[in-house]
Amino acid sequence: MSLIEIKDLKVHYPIRSGFWNRVTDSVKAVDGISFNIEAGETYGLVGESGSGKSTTGKSVVGLEKVTSGSIMYKGKDITKKSNRNHLDYNHDVQMIFQDSLSSLNPRKRIEDIIAEPLRNFEHLSKDDEKLRVLQLLDIVGLDADALYKYPHQFSGGQRQRIGVARAVATNPKLIIADEPVSALDLSVQAQVLNFMKKIQREFGISYLFISHDLGVVRHMCNNIAIMNRGRLVEIGTRDDIYNHPLHIYTKRLLAAIPETNVSQRKAHREARLAVEQVYREQQDKYYDEHGDAYPLVQVSPTHAVALPEALAQQIVQEGEVKA
Ligand SMILES: Nc1ncnc2c1ncn2[C@@H]1O[C@H](COP(=O)(O)OP(=O)(O)OP(=O)(O)O)[C@@H](O)[C@H]1O
């Protein structure tokens, strides 16, 4: 059994209009997605802004009301609040946000910020609590004098470390990391990602790693789902997605990864323009008459793509998918 099994999840927001403020339409932020997260893995959820990634993350952590579908944990559907409480789900699943300055209470000292989940769930003595907070600061590479400071007294990278320390305080099974390094400089991004990996090894936690950038996800994730307009357009292992992408949307995201090697920049730019041309000329093949992605078709045991069955099989036969 997987750690988390998400099945046909939908989150639709009502749109109201007119004098009576009636519901006239809905935003299909998440529109029928399914994937599983295994214990100890980092699962990547990648897509452009507005594709529905954060709504998915918030649904998994229990912060968003789900329209339909299920999120199974230990055999129970946690979209029902009673199951979340019964299973200690709020203890086992934590979240790290992109914007550490607004997600950490500016009026609280770091000691209180990190101790908050411990106070909610563990009920330790004052001395044990302080010891635990000091251990957590040490794990994320911050000195003991951080205890008495406030969030604004730290750099963006340090604040993200504090967010991670708070998230791991209760030894969770899963952390939803929503764009955890997007607001940081490239050099600091690498530091934060490295210690997220270190913590994963030490604590055996899983991550749902949400990002708009396939470049960041490459070094973190075993399995990746590509999200576009509320649906999944491709799911696969890291090798499937980076070396054998099938959906034009995935290819566009890959082409958008900046090229750091100066000598490769011209070739990279040409490749990106070629992908954009295919997208302009062939996008009606990849989306149905409403502009929605097709249901996923399995093309190998690990790889699925949202294409009409016949087109998916044709691509497989042409050898674009590894056997
Ligand atoms: N509370 C809400 N009410 C109405 N529409 C919403 C609400 N929250 C999100 N949406 C819409 O749902 C869609 C998906 O939003 P979501 O924040 O999940 O996307 P995202 O992929 O995480 O984007 P970003 O990376 O910019 O955060 C967007 O069109 C957004 O405008």
Interval 59-99: pLDDT, tens: 999 999 999 999 999 889 999 988 877 768 888 999 988 87
Supply the residue whose CA is at minimum distance from atom 7 of ligand 1: 13
Percent of the chain having pLDDT more than 70?
A: 98
| 9/81: higher pLDDT | 9
Around 128, how many Cα atoms within 13 Å sit in the side-chain half-sphere?
7
Of 202 and 134, more confident = 134
Q: Following DSSP, what letter does each residue of 22-34 receive, concatenated?
A: EEEEEEEEEEEEE
Report the nearest atom of ligand 1 relative to the CA of 56: 18
Question: Confidence band (pLDDT; 50, 70, 90) for 104?
Answer: confident
Which stretches within the chain are classed as H helix?
Answer: 53-61, 81-86, 89-92, 100-103, 110-121, 126-139, 156-168, 186-203, 214-217, 238-243, 248-255, 265-286, 309-317
State in Å: Cα 57 to ligand 1 middle: 11
Percent of the chain with pLDDT over 90: 57
Chain segment 189-248, per-residue pLDDT in tens: 888 898 889 889 988 999 999 999 998 898 899 999 999 999 999 999 999 999 999 999
pLDDT of residue 320: 56
What is the rounded average pLDDT of the residues 13-32?
A: 86
Question: Across the chain, what does the average pLDDT equal?
Answer: 90
- Report the separation in Å between the CA atom of 28 and the middle of ligand 1, taken as the mean of its atom positions: 9
Closest Cα to atom 1, ligand 1: which residue? 13
Q: What lines the ligand 1 site, CB under 6 Å?
A: 13, 27, 29, 47, 49-55, 212
- CA dist 97 and 35 (Å) reads 22
Report CA(11)–ligand 1 centroid distance (Å). 10
Amino acid type, 278: V
299 pLDDT above the threshold of 80:
yes
Centre of ligand 1 from the C-alpha of residue 54, in Å: 7
pLDDT recorded at residue 319: 57
**What confidence tier does 141 reach under pLDDT thresholds 50, 70, 90?**
confident
Compute, in angstroms, the gap from residue 29 CA to the centroid of ligand 1.
6
Q: Which ligand 1 atom sits closest to the C-alpha of 54?
A: 22
Query: Which ligand 1 atom sits closest to the C-alpha of 179?
Result: 25
| Distance in Å from the first CA to the final CA of the chain | 26
ipTM for the predicted complex comes to 0.95
Task: List the helix and strand counts (H, then E) for the chain.
Answer: 13, 12
Task: Give me the pLDDT at residue 100, please.
Answer: 67
Which residue, chain included where needed, has tokens 């590509």? 226
Q: Domains in the chain, ordered, with CATH?
A: 4-229 (3.40.50.300), 231-323 (no CATH)
CB atoms within 10 A of CB 214: 23
323 pLDDT exceeds 60? no
Question: With 80 as the cut, is the pLDDT of residue 41 above it?
Answer: yes
CA distances from residue 187 to 79, 96, 110, 141, 183 in whole angstroms, order as listed: 38, 20, 24, 16, 12
Do 121 and 170 touch, CB atoms closer than 8 A? yes
Residue with tokens 């911050």: 142
